[in-house]
Amino acid sequence: MPSGRVSTSFRSADTTLKKNRPFLFLYTDEEHPDLKITLEQFEILGKKRFQLLKFIEKYRAEGKPLDLHDCKTKQDKDAFDDTKGLESKEKELELNNADKDKMSHFILRLACCGSDESSKWFVTHETILFERRYIRATGVQESLKIPIHKKLKIKDDQVDKFRLLSQFSRVNGKTPIPLFHNDRFLNKEDEILPFHRVLFSEVCDLVGRRGVFLLNGFAWVPHDQFHSYIRGRFRSCLNKAMALMKRAHTIQRMRSDETASRLVPILESIPKALDKSYTKSKLVQGNVTVASLGKLKKHMPLCMQLIIEEDCMKKRYVRHWGMLHLSLFLKGIGLPLVEATKFWRRSMKEEKKFKEIAGGLKHAYGTSGSKKDYSPFSCYKLVESVADKVPEKNCHYGCPFRYYNDKRLANTLRSKKVGDKDIIDIIKLKKGKHFELACKKVMESTHRDILQKSGQTIDDIENTWSHPNRYFDASYYLYNPDAKPKDDEIKKTEPEIKTQQPGEVRRKPVPKFGNSFGTPGVVFGSKNKPKFGTASKTKTGVDPQPDQDVEMTG
């Protein structure tokens, strides 16, 4: 599966979006959409895809079924709500449209190809999404699987009931294969048959849980479990595509190109789609003072509490990243510069260290230097800013769920009066790198009394758990419900993704990226490596104007 590419062609804009219909894609190079979209729509589609994969991540981490087929027990099936499932989420994000789905996939693939961690995250959750759609394609939609099998070059040896009883009678009834008879049908026989004989190395997950019969290096996969084999093939193809994009330094090449470089900030902003900008809390009445921080500390997330308690109060020494993370957080909840200066003077035992912090503090508050109004760090930025560093001198910064070992984290949580049962769940979430959900679990445990008193559960709180200041807001709302502003959440209307009709005049045109190397455009994923910076013209010999659209084309 070749890597994705971003390009355009200068043809008439008469393409129309396909109607919503069932679809199943491998997202190969020939499946690139051929539509014109604006830069704003480009960003929106990437963010929607990101939200969909985050939804899958959340449900998997919490052990919730994504659809009816994902329910393991009859009780789960009876309790499953279709309106809260994966298919409903796809409709909500309008990714049940084939063209939007393909476009959003390739956009997010570009956004995630830069690092191993983001690439692995993307592949993991795209694979889950593909598998759920593959399982969903039953009955009339079964025909959607045929081209998938051809592209994946599936060569499985199918064994039906007649062949099993005549040619392989010696394996009939051997665990986990049930005992079949000519004269009667077993329960769910139609779901089990035919068996697919594939190399055991292709279905390691089924082998690991003893879900298949092994004979001469081949695994006998029941038909209702064949999706595990297809999932492995899809994951392998997508992994290769991501590796090709990273090896080709796709993002770096985009930065060096005059026109494609305009897409890079958009792509970098997509993983932060759920981390909406945060400037200042609207909850705390009046300015926060140093004296009031003691009472407000219970509303703070664990990362900020540890910097205050362990570094500022006990050691009275803090590293640069700890100062930056905490200063912007306190700025976000309403602590003015004068009070912040008092706080850090009290927290530092060395005057030299305080003077060092005071300069950075003025810069963070925008009163010196570039005078930029910096926003508090989101969870994503908090982790990524110190991704390759472990806090020095036993200090604290970043996310404790990221750098604390299990034992240290458990002891810290016990000191916060988190129950042992909750600690076990939090450690599991930490090991799965679900740091935001682990933080959510901490809040649930430490706020259990107020939640019960208000008749709420942690899921009733409208929060993405992706920003320390939003954690603070959620906690403050619980204890001070009257302080919640009515216009807290301002919903922005997203523009509809549609194509330009013939004769239509755009009032606010946007830049267009051409289908040739260098200026005016760039192609990614070609076997021939592009040489950027070379002059290029369209077929008519006229350079394209910058007042056109971004387009995904095959």
Q: For residues 359 and 341, is the Cβ–Cβ distance under 8 A?
A: no
Q: Within 10 Å of residue 540's Cβ, how many Cβ atoms?
A: 8
Question: In the chain, pLDDT over 90 holds for what percent of residues?
Answer: 20
pLDDT surpassing 80 at residue 34: no
> How much is the pLDDT for 283?
55
pLDDT surpassing 60 at residue 188: yes
DSSP H helices in 297-399:
302-306, 320-333, 337-347, 351-364, 379-385
Residue with the larger pLDDT of the pair 5 and 27: 27
Q: What is the pLDDT of residues 52-97, one digit of tens each?
A: 998 998 888 777 899 988 888 888 888 888 888 999 999 999 998 8
Q: What is the pLDDT of residues 132-164, one digit of tens each?
A: 999 888 776 778 888 888 888 887 788 888 888
> How much is the pLDDT for 48?
92
Residue 46, token pair as written in the block: 């990437």
Q: Please state which of the ranges 377-381, 412-416, 425-429, 487-491 shows the lowest mean pLDDT.
A: 487-491
Sequence-distant (≥ 6) Cβ neighbours of residue 253 within 8 angstroms? 260, 522, 524, 530, 532
pLDDT surpassing 50 at residue 494: no
Sequence-distant (≥ 6) Cβ neighbours of residue 374 within 8 angstroms? 328, 331, 364, 365, 366
Q: For residues 157 and 226, is the Cβ–Cβ distance under 8 A?
A: no
> How much is the pLDDT for 342?
92
pLDDT surpassing 60 at residue 11: no
Q: What is the pLDDT of residues 301-321, one digit of tens each?
A: 999 999 999 989 988 888 888
Q: What is the pLDDT of residues 365-382, one digit of tens each?
A: 888 877 787 888 888 788
Residue 401, token pair as written in the block: 């769920």
Tracing tokens 């939200």 back to the chain, one arrives at 51
416-440: average pLDDT: 91
Tracing tokens 């002059």 back to the chain, one arrives at 535
In the chain, where are the structural domains located? 1-151+248-270+501-554, 155-227, 293-483
* One CATH from 3.30.70, 2.60.120, 1.20.930, 3.40.50 for 1-151+248-270+501-554: 1.20.930
List the one residue out of 33, 26, 31 whose CA is nearest residue 100.
33
pLDDT surpassing 90 at residue 205: no
Q: Within 10 Å of residue 136's Cβ, how many Cβ atoms?
A: 17
> How much is the pLDDT for 86?
92
| Dihedral sign from CA coordinates of 354, 327, 305, 412 | negative
Q: What is the pLDDT of residues 216-238, one digit of tens each?
A: 888 899 888 888 889 988 999 99
Dist. CA 435–CA 427, nearest whole Å = 10
CA distances from 94 to 58, 455, 494 (A): 19, 34, 12
> How much is the pLDDT for 284?
59
> How much is the pLDDT for 500?
38
Confidence of residue 438 (pLDDT cuts 50, 70, 90): very high
